[in-house]
Amino acid sequence: MTNSNQPELSGLTRTQVLVTIAISAIVFLALTKLWLYFSSLSLLTARSEPWDYVIGMGLGIGITLMGFLVYWLWPGYRRSVDSYLNLVLPPLTWADLIWLGLLPGLSEELFFRGTLLPTFGLNTEGVLLTAVCFGLLHFSKLENWPYVIWAIIVGTILGVSTLWTDNLLVPVIAHIVTNGLSGGFWKWRTLGGSGIAR
């Protein structure tokens, strides 16, 4: 349901989407650096071990599959996701999906799980507060509230995985895989049609 007083946003160009992704990543990386500079905290450790790659990829695939299930079962979430993806994904090439996964996955996880989580506490309360902040990042308009709820759930899962593995690399990989698979599936689903999700 849209408000007739608010104009619908038209699709963005490929350059606009890629520049927005890049600027967002730079902003989150700068916030991370500033946060660490002005606090007594240090960034959570990211270890590069084979098992952590497997856990991160498995978690990303699991989140993506859960997202597909929620997408098909919850019409409000489906409308919210399609509204956002219709704005962002159509101009992107398949190769651009690498940037869609990599830049937000890395920069957002460094900030939310790498700096905010230790700031709020490496405990249940810290995970939930960080997840709510992560969800609010995904708020763009009132009708988008189902997407915000989903982002809070995903943020909670990523936070728990950070505490469980004690490795920031796990949520980074999971986030990258989730963004890449979700974007790729949506793009594949719209091929052959008008480019607009049905």
DSSP 8-state assignment for residue 116: I
N-term to C-term CA, the chain: 16
User: Which helix H or strand E contains 190, and what residues bound it?
Assistant: helix 169-190
pLDDT 10s digits, 25-44: 999 999 999 999 999 888 89
pLDDT 10s digits, 147-189: 999 999 999 999 999 999 999 999 999 999 999 999 999 888 8
- Please give the residue that has the higher pLDDT: either 43 or 1: 43
Contacts of 82 (CB under 8 A, 6+ apart): 197
* Burial bucket for residue 95 (CB in 10 Å: 0-12, 13-18, 19+): exposed
Cα–Cα distance for residue pair 43/58, rounded to 1 Å: 24
Mean pLDDT of the region 46-70: 96
One-letter amino acid at 181 equals L
Tokens 């996880």 belong to 109
% of residues, the chain, pLDDT over 90? 75
Model confidence at 2: pLDDT above 90: no
The string over 123-153, giving b where at least 16 C-beta atoms fall within 10 Å of a residue's C-beta and e elsewhere, is eeebbbbbbbbbbebbeeeeebebbbbbbbb
Model confidence at 7: pLDDT above 80: no
Among residues 93, 101, 96, which one has the least CA distance to residue 61?
A: 101
Is the pTM for the entire model greater than 0.75?
yes
Distances (CA, A) of 133 to 96, 121, 155, 164, 175: 27, 14, 9, 20, 16
pLDDT of residue 10: 61
pLDDT of residue 52: 95
Q: Which two tokens stand for residue 171?
A: 């949520």
Q: How many CB atoms lie within 10 A of CB 163?
A: 15
Tokens 């939310």 belong to 112
Mean pLDDT of the region 67-76: 96
pLDDT of residue 87: 82
